[in-house]
């Protein structure tokens, strides 16, 4: 499950205490707390009465009655399914059998009491009896961290192995709701479930926050089911039909990865807000005002913008502003580990891209794009310039085309940057895309080409390495890897 909330830790209090000349900022810091609204005493209420029960109830066994398992069992029963929970812990089983929640979670006990009284929810310590008539077995056991940071999969493997033995005749769909690393379901199939073809297995990750779990389940922002068996995926997805949320049916490893993508993104957002808040505090700026204003931009800031893997960033703004912000924080003796790591991360991503290009067997490499992104002629801090430097330094044959670059028309710092890095850049530039394609054995995309350019590249039959990430599963006109 994900974190329900966070506290704001302002490192600058300690810093200001040791720097008397900066205590003038304390009123601004305390102003932050005056503006912050207190946390609600109860989570957002979920209107459970508004949920219309399914007309096609499914027999579900929920294996593991911890936070995820108990909430999942109670909510599925509330949706009209016939649910039996199983756990080795007799206390959890006895609690549900008595119509009580085994732990406190807002709204959970009401659902358990209602569903148990109506005969839709029961619990047992017997795995065999739970699986005897089950159509779907939802595995919800814990996957705790080991000392190394790796996941502990002992409970998961044990439950999968015991389920395969107990359900050899009924063969329910095995749905893994536990948080597991990509590839785990495939390992379970090979090591615990008797190999491919014995059981249909899907990944059905949960996105529940402690303290809001019932509301999160019944008002989902995301429903994900991944696997290789379409029938099994659709059957598991149908459990959530009464909620009205369109399920994302994806590959098995994608479903496993999505949970990590979500949780790490949430952690990243919290760390970003805390570091920026700490810097604002040290500068006497109301952090809440800055972040509230940042969130007003739903085009770039709070949106899907930039959330597509592609080439390294560059240009005249992002690198410069990151360096300035980290430098100024350093002058305040304020470490910002997250923000300080962004430029090194970008450089590492560029090195990975350079290595991909170096690994190409093609003798003549044509590069599409010289500016730091498409639809501009700005060359300042363009990662493509670094790429070209590395290729030329290794003796590779390279030519470049950029639809918006005319060397004779650029000037000032833009011109100085590229000429200082590659004095003979004029000898590498091709005036037309057609001439680049005629010359090259392979094309490296560092920008997303416009549709006419895309058509030319595709028609050329040249091998393509797409570093810009411009293709999608539905609009796949250019290969994202080198085509032999």
- Please list the active-site residues: 317
Q: Record the tokens describing residue 187, joined without a space.
A: 């390992």
Contact (Cβ atoms closer than 8 angstroms) between residue 447 and residue 377: no
Q: Cα(135)–Cα(73) distance, rounded to whole angstroms?
A: 14
Contact (Cβ atoms closer than 8 angstroms) between residue 138 and residue 62: yes
Contact (Cβ atoms closer than 8 angstroms) between residue 388 and residue 369: no
Q: Cα(25)–Cα(286) distance, rounded to whole angstroms?
A: 10
Secondary structure in 3-state letters for the chain = CECCCCCCCCCHHHHHHCCHHHHHHHHHHHHHHHHCCCCCCCCCCCCHHHCCCCCCCCEEEEECCCHHHHHHHHHHHHCCCEEEEECCCHHHHHHHHCCCCCCCCCCHHHHHHHHHHCCCEEEECCHHHHHCCCCEEEECCCCCECCCCCECCHHHHHHHHHHHHHCCCCCCEEEECCCCCCCHHHHHHHHCCCCCCCCCEEECCCCCECCCHHHHHHCCCCCEEEECCHHHHHHHHHHHHHHCCCCEEECHHHHHHHHHHHHHHHHHHHHHHHHHHHHHHHCCCCHHHHHHHHCCCCCCCCCCCCCCCCCCCCCCCHHHHHHHHHHHHHHCCCCCHHHHCHHHHHHHHHHHHHHHHHCCCCCEEEEECCCCCCCCCCCCCCHHHHHHHHHHHCCCEEEEECCCCCHHHCCHHHHHHHHHHCCCHHHCECCCHHHHHHHCCEEEECCCCCHHHHHHHHHHCCEEEECCCCCCCCCCCCCCCCCC
Give residues with Cβ within 8 angstroms of 302, minimum separation 6.
295
Contact (Cβ atoms closer than 8 angstroms) between residue 462 and residue 440: yes
Give residues with Cβ within 8 angstroms of 132, minimum separation 6.
167, 170
Q: Cα(10)–Cα(17) distance, rounded to whole angstroms?
A: 12
* Greatest pairwise CA separation for the chain in angstroms: 82
């Amino acid at each position: 499950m994900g974190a329900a909330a966070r506290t704001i830790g302002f490192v600058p209090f300690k810093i200001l205490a040791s720097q008397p000349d900066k205590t003038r900022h304390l009123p601004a810091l305390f102003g932050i707390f005056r503006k912050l609204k207190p946390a609600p005493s109860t989570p957002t209420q979920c209107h459970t009465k508004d949920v219309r029960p399914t007309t096609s109830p499914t027999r579900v066994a929920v294996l593991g009655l911890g936070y995820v398992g108990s909430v999942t069992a109670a909510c599925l029963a509330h949706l009209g399914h016939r649910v039996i929970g199983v756990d080795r812990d007799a206390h959890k089983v006895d609690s549900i059998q008595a119509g009580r929640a085994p732990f406190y979670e807002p709204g959970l006990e009401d659902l358990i009491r209602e569903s148990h009284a109506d005969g839709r929810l029961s619990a047992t310590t017997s795995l065999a009896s739970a699986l005897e008539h089950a159509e779907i077995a939802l595995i919800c056991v814990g996957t705790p961290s080991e000392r190394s940071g790796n996941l502990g999969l002992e409970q998961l493997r044990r439950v999968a192995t015991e389920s395969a033995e107990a359900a050899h005749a009924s063969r329910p769909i095995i749905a893994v709701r536990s948080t597991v690393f990509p590839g785990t379901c495939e390992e379970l199939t090979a090591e615990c479930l008797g190999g491919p073809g014995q059981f249909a297995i899907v990944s059905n990750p949960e996105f529940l926050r402690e303290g809001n779990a019932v509301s999160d389940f019944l008002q989902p922002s995301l429903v994900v089911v991944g696997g290789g068996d379409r029938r099994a995926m659709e059957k598991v997805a149908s459990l959530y039909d009464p909620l009205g949320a369109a399920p994302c049916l994806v590959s098995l490893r994608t479903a496993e990865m999505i949970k990590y993508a979500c949780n790490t993104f949430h952690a990243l957002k919290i760390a970003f807000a805390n570091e920026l808040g700490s810097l604002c505090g040290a500068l006497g700026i109301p952090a809440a005002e800055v972040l509230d204003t940042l969130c007003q931009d739903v085009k770039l800031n709070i949106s899907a913008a930039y959330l597509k893997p592609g080439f390294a960033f560059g240009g005249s703004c992002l690198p410069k502003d990151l360096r300035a912000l980290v430098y100024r924080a350093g002058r305040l003796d304020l470490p910002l580990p997250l923000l300080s790591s962004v430029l090194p991360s970008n450089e590492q991503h560029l090195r990975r891209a350079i290595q991909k290009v170096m690994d190409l067997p093609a003798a003549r490499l044509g590069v599409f794009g010289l500016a730091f992104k498409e639809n501009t002629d700005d060359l300042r801090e363009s990662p493509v310039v670094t790429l070209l430097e590395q290729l030329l330094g290794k003796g590779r044959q390279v030519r470049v085309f950029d639809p918006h670059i005319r060397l004779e028309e650029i000037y000032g710092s833009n011109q100085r940057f590229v000429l200082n890095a590659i004095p003979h850049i004029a000898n590498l530039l091709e005036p037309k895309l057609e001439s680049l394609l005629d010359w090259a054995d392979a094309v490296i995309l560092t920008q997303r080409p416009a549709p006419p350019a895309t058509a030319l590249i595709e028609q050329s039959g040249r091998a393509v390495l797409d570093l810009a990430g411009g293709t999608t599963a539905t609009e796949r006109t250019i290969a994202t890897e080198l085509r032999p």
